[in-house]
Structure formats: C-alpha cells, structure tokens
Amino acid sequence: MRYFIELAYKGKNYFGWQRQPNQISVQEVIEEKLSVLLRGKIDIVGAGRTDTGVHAKQMYAHFDFEGVIEFEKFIFKLNSFLPKDISINKIFGVTNDAHTRFDATSRAYEYHISLGKNPFLIDSTFQIFHELDVDKMNEAAKLMYDYTNFKCFSKSKTDVRTYNCDVMNAIWVKKENNLIFYVKADRFLRNMVRAIVGTLLEVGKGIKTIEDFRKVLESKDRRKAGTSVPAQGLYLAEIIYPYI
C-alpha cells in the first residue's frame, strides 16, 4: 500500500531535502527512522527538492509498505524519533499509483526578509538594511504573468527538458518590519525563486527599472538577472494535489 506523509522542517542543519553521499539530508533522516519503526528498508519519494538551508512549511513524500499503520500512534512515535527540526503532521493512505512529485498541480514558495537587524530571525530570514520600493517590486513581479520561459532565473547547469513555468501569483506583502514574497506556479526551476527575489530587490533598490526587469525576462540569460538571495529566507509553503 502507498502512504503519503505531510511534513515540515527547518533546513538550517541539512544539506537539502534529497539524500546524498557524505552529507546529512532531510530525506535520509526520515527514511532511517521509518525503517526502524516499520522494521524494514523504507525509501521515500519527495514532492520536490529543497536546497541546503531552505525550509519547508509543507512538504509531501510517499512510501510503500505492505501493512496497516495506526496513523495517530505512528505519527506520535515517528515524531518522537525524529529531531526537533522535522515534524510529521499527517500520514494517510492513497492509491498505489498516487505520486507526490508528478501529481502536484501547483507549488508555492515564500521568501522572508527582515527589514533591519533582528538576532532572533537570523536563521530564518534574509536581513536587509536598505530602503526598498515595494510598489515597484510588485509592479515588476506582475510582469512574470506575461511570460512562460524562465531560463533567466534558472541555474545554468541543469538537465531540465523545459524552462517553461506557469506563474499564477507573485506578490510582496509588508508586515511591520518583515517583507514576504509569495510566488505560486505549476512548477519551479532550480534556484528560480532565489534568483527572482534577488532581481526584484535590485528593482526595489533602484538598481534596475521595471523595464530592465522585463528585459531580463526576455533575455533568457541568467547573467542578466540579479544575484540569488541566501537560502535561509526561503520556504516551500504549499503543495496542491487534485485529490487532497
């Protein structure tokens, strides 16, 4: 039988989601604890990847296990085994052909910025000390609705078949001394959100104009875009499935 896991994690102590040699990952930690509790090797498949230091408010993964799981008791046990920076929120059965990666219809990310120095947010936000024109940043962000090819924001060495993405929402929201960028799309390219944010910050600082941002989109050239912002401000916020 196939099971879905809904989880959350703080990425500071991990070299991303995906298991890799000689580095600790979120996937590896969960697989090891599941294998102990279910008394057999368990492999999990995530809905996507997050890079080193990136957080997830909502991530899904699936695994196969030929047995019945008492969900409430099992979640309690699994959370007891896991480190404090990984939380299992739900486990539920699905059809055997359900897939956390391929069945997702959209994903959303948030990027959190602290406007000024805050020692309590140093591991969870990017701290900025410049004045930003948020209205211009939002104007520029809306331009992404007019485009589908986002090669300009993709990591250069990548094996993707297409750079096309359908951006459904992109907006900056200011809450007191915090600034949050919310972006939703059917799929994302490697490093895409951090590159978008870095480029929009250049608009907010007056380094680039809104027209410059359009030229970046049309260029399909990563070298024309801004520097990628640090990982600690990025959160995978939501994954949508047609049957959940």
Do 42 and 147 have their domain in common?
Answer: no
Do 114 and 81 have their domain in common?
Answer: no
Q: Give the least confident one: 21-35, 149-163, 202-216.
A: 149-163
- Among candidate residues 43, 51, 103, 135, the one labeled active-site is 51
Catalytic residue list contains 51: yes
pLDDT at 216: 98
pTM given for the model: 0.95
| Residue 8 forms part of a structural domain | yes
Do 216 and 130 have their domain in common?
Answer: yes
pLDDT tops 90 at residue 156: no
Q: Tally the domains of the chain.
A: 2
pLDDT tops 80 at residue 149: yes
Res. 160 pLDDT band, cuts 50 70 90:
confident
| Residue 101 forms part of a structural domain | no
Res. 34 pLDDT band, cuts 50 70 90:
very high
Do 76 and 123 have their domain in common?
Answer: no
The domain in which residue 227 lies consists of 106-240
Do 111 and 88 have their domain in common?
Answer: no
Do 76 and 121 have their domain in common?
Answer: no
Do 119 and 200 have their domain in common?
Answer: yes
Quick one: which of 159, 182, 17 has its CA closest to 109? 182
Cα–Cα distances in Å, from 235 out to 50, 96, 117?
Answer: 9, 29, 20
| Residue 199 forms part of a structural domain | yes
Do 115 and 223 have their domain in common?
Answer: yes
| Residue 233 forms part of a structural domain | yes
Do 119 and 226 have their domain in common?
Answer: yes
210-237 pLDDT, tens digit each: 999 999 999 999 999 999 999 999 999 9
CATH number of residue 146's parent domain:
3.30.70.660
| Residue 18 forms part of a structural domain | yes
Quick one: which of 205, 89, 220 has its CA closest to 149? 220
**Of 94, 129, 160, which residue sits at a domain end?**
94
Sign, Cα dihedral of 84, 111, 153, 44:
positive
| Residue 83 forms part of a structural domain | yes
| Residue 99 forms part of a structural domain | no
pLDDT tops 80 at residue 159: no
> Which structure tokens are listed for 41?
């090797």
Do 122 and 191 have their domain in common?
Answer: yes
Query: Under DSSP, is residue 106 helix (H, G, I), strand (E, B) or coil?
Result: strand
CATH number of residue 78's parent domain:
3.30.70.580
